[in-house]
A and B are shown apart, each in its own frame.
Chain A
Amino acid sequence: MNNIKEIKNEILNEKYYEIDHSSGLKIFVYPKENYSSCYAIFGTKYGSTDNCFKAGENGEYITVPEGIAHFLEHKLFESEERGAFERYSETGASANAYTSFDKTCYLFSCTGNFSESLEILLDFVTSPYFTPETVKKEQGIIGQEIKMTNDEPSWALLFTLLKAMYKTHPVSIDIAGTVQSISEITAELLYECYNAFYNLNNMALAVAGNVSIDEVLAVADKILKPSEKKQIERKFENEPKEVVSKYAEKRLSVSRPLFALGYKEDVKGVRRTLKQTLESEIMLDIIAGRTSYLYEKMIESGLINTTFYSEYFEGLGYGAHIFSGESENPEEVRRRIDEEILRLQTEGVDRCEFERIKKKHYGKFIMGFDDVDAVANFLINDYFNGDSSFDGLSILESITFEDINRRLSESIDVNNSSMSVVKAE
């Protein structure tokens, strides 16, 4: 028996359905009137940071090679009979997948043959097939992917920063692993990870666009078998509050130095609430967004250029406010950002700036709900974070000027930051 709940938002004038499917899977269906296309995403709460875990009551903790979640993502497309891409080629759907720090998702978009494509998606993700031969072949392909990302300055910048900030937390591990670590992956290990995390109770399906609940449930009922709930426990070593080092560098062929400055937040091993995340985003705009005095001064003085941006980076057991860009003098950028943060922590933020930026985020929230791929991704991300996709708007409305000042004081310590720089010789 499937339990269906309708969730509406009056401002957007839209609704979606949240379904507890009889198999254990959480399903979201977001119909979009007058749209031609559909986007479906089937994800598991398993990513690169889940490298030490146990599943089931009597299991032991195991530590797996770095990059195995991503490796598993690649291998699931293969089958003893016909691979997923070959099957999709008959329906015309455009398919892809990705692995991030905390989830792995398989997706497709289409305008026709939706049910057939959904059947393929649900079937291949729930039908693993790993052999020593197919594992060996993939090591070559993923080896090339790793080398490709190793040439990307922005990727190197991020992971150099994460290694400087995090001593034990696996967020500092490259999502694809290394050429060495993936050589240790075996078919048996892939099955171990699969059986632990690809349990429907640990997964979710979101579909948005020209689709109905009945269509989705008809396929889900046909393909999905009931999944016994399994306790998954992830093990993380204690992560110290302090950064590992204040500065780290990597050499790559770049036209000018790239920098990423991260202020490590003391998160006490838990995730931020949606309210805290939204507060952080508003706060970052106030500190150094494109309309801030700091941004204007740094741009006009030639210290940064228009590549400068900021983001709040968070997940289970980690959180950081990061400022990135290009500069011939990253240390000066750091000094100025530190100075501005201290000034705002002392004097408080400007009320007019706060109101304008809050209105900006309101507009961004509205705009996010036009694209079917964005909508489906929000549904999956928010569910895995323990949030509900429409909640953002009401939470945003509730954020006060005082909330931002408090968040600024509590979440950033200028004495606890790291900076990574990528530069040529």
Chain B
Amino acid sequence: MTAHRGTPWVFLATSIGYGAVALGMETDLPGADSTFGPKTFPLLLSVAGILLSVLLLRDASGHGLPHEGPQKEGSSTRLDWRRMAVLCALMALYAGAIRWVGLWLATVLFLAGGTFLLGERRLRVIFLVALAIATFFQLLLTRFLGIYVDDPLLRALGLG
């Protein structure tokens, strides 16, 4: 099954699942059983989603329309999906590291790792850029805009 056919199936499953969850919603709260309750709109959306998914499946199988539709972004160039997975993993690690090592250090490591992954090999440039950006925005947030950002490392160093 190609990716183009797979996506409508995902939409169909999502719409059915969404409708199933909506049907099973607890609505024994006051005002919940009126003509238009908390389930009504989701159920309407579920039906619409199922209908549209079926149309998309029909289009994808080539029965409906001569063309599949629009030109896809990136379809004419090679896309490195593994790089996307690695970058998403790096961002997830960054998100986790913020609480553990603090925003500033996590940012430095994230920017350094990201620029290295994308092809920059000059270590001086990598770390200079990372340090400059991380420091600038840390100061901007905490000193200028007054947004408190808890940073265990900077706090331990007496700079937080």
The reply to whether chain A is a binding partner of chain B is no
Give residues in A with beta carbon < 8 Å to B. none
Give residues in B with beta carbon < 8 Å to A. none
